[in-house]
Structure 1
Amino acid sequence: MKLIPITSIFLLILATSCNTSDSETIIAKNKLGLLSPSTKVSEVNTILINDSIAEFDLESKFNKVSEIEVFNKEGNISLVIEPNYQNDSLVTINEVQILDPKYRTKKGLSIDSNFKTIYENYKIDNIQNSINSVILSIDEIGAYIVIDKKHLPSKLKFDSEIKIEANQIPDEAPFKYFWIRFEEPNL
């Protein structure tokens, strides 16, 4: 009889710990793990306690920090945070470049995904053709993803004026960059 309550408590603890780790790495609209649009850049060290944050000085009067690098336990860059300077005292997060595959959406989209993952799970709101890349906007999660044109059919690689459709991008095309943009917080 005592085995059932102990097993229940163990399963509850296990489920809670799994949810915590998921919540620390999930990508969603205006969320990247525990980061949100209202997160102050000065709080990043305390929120990402398992990572190392490159030193930065927001107080410099002449140079504003343009990006903050976050390193994982192995010493690799996992995130690049771009601050949003709203006024002298409040600096929040504007955009985050995701470099670590541990960060993913509930539908499995991560930096290690390919175009097929986007095409099968998300509405692509805009496809922008640039000189060397194609930029995909996914408003549902506030993301834009860059695919190098070297992965496109040859007729699309060298023309930055041609309109590119989603069905012209190969399923196996990998991501070059994966960015999440945060909307302005309501203060």
Structure 2
Amino acid sequence: MKLIPFLSVLCLVVFTSCNQSTSETRIAKNQLGLLNPKTQISELNAILERDSVAEFDLRSNLGTTKEIEIYNEQGDLSLIIEPNYQGDSLVTISEIQILDPKYKTDKGLTIESPFKMIYENYKIDNIQNSINSVILSINEIGVYLVIDKKHLPSKLRFDSEIKIEANQIPDGAPFKYFWLRFDETTP
């Protein structure tokens, strides 16, 4: 009888420890690893202790949108954080550009995924046609992705007024940019 509670606790410990390794790289709505809308910029060094946060001075940047660069252990640019200035002392995160494929959603979406991954796993809420790119919004996970128009059929490349549908984007089209936006009003 005493063996059952012990096994339950052991399973819980194993599950939790396995889950922690992926939680540091998980992309979800209002979450990138341990970062969320309430994370203050001053906490980045402690939270991203394995990474290197580029030097920045909050006092000289208040009221500006200076980006903060995060480098991974290999020295490659991994994330670009856009601060959300809320006053003289509280600075949180507005958006994060994800450049490192180690960050992924529960369904496996990364910066290196092809468009087909979006089309098969997520609802595309909006497709914007701009001069050189197509911007896809996926509200379910709070991201927007940019695809360079050079990967689209020629009839779609040169007209920024034409409405582009998801089924017109080639399955293998890569993402040029992958942004996660934080929304403080969403729980």
- In the alignment, which residue of structure 2 is the partner of 1:73? 73
- In the alignment, which residue of structure 1 is the partner of 2:156? 156
TM-score of the superposed pair, with normalisation by structure 1: 0.91
| CA deviation after TM superposition for structure 1 residue 7, in Å | 9.3
Counting matched residue pairs gives 184
| CA deviation after TM superposition for structure 1 residue 140, in Å | 0.4
Contact map agreement 1:78 1:100 (CA 8 A) in 2: yes
- 1:23 correspondence with 2:42: no
| CA deviation after TM superposition for structure 1 residue 61, in Å | 6.4
Distance, in Å, in 2 between the alignment partners of 1:20 and 1:33 is 10
Question: What are the residue-to-residue correspondences of 1:96-175 with 2, within 5 Å?
Answer: 96-175=96-175
Distance, in Å, in 1 between the alignment partners of 2:83 and 2:132 is 26
- Structure 1 residues not aligned, in runs of 5+: none
In terms of mean alpha carbon deviation, does 111-120 or 10-19 score higher?
A: 10-19
Deviations 1:115-160 (A, max 9, x none): 0000000000000001110000000011000000000000001111
Contact map agreement 1:56 1:65 (CA 8 A) in 2: no
Q: Secondary structure at the match of 1:118?
A: helix
| CA deviation after TM superposition for structure 1 residue 60, in Å | 1.3
| CA deviation after TM superposition for structure 1 residue 101, in Å | 0.5
Distance, in Å, in 1 between the alignment partners of 2:8 and 2:168 is 51
- In the alignment, which residue of structure 1 is the partner of 2:56? 56
- Quick one: percent identity of the two aligned structures? 71
Contact map agreement 1:58 1:64 (CA 8 A) in 2: no
| CA deviation after TM superposition for structure 1 residue 66, in Å | 1.2
TM-score of the superposed pair, with normalisation by structure 2: 0.91
Contact map agreement 2:62 2:88 (CA 8 A) in 1: no
Query: In angstroms, what is the RMSD of aligned CA positions?
Result: 2.2
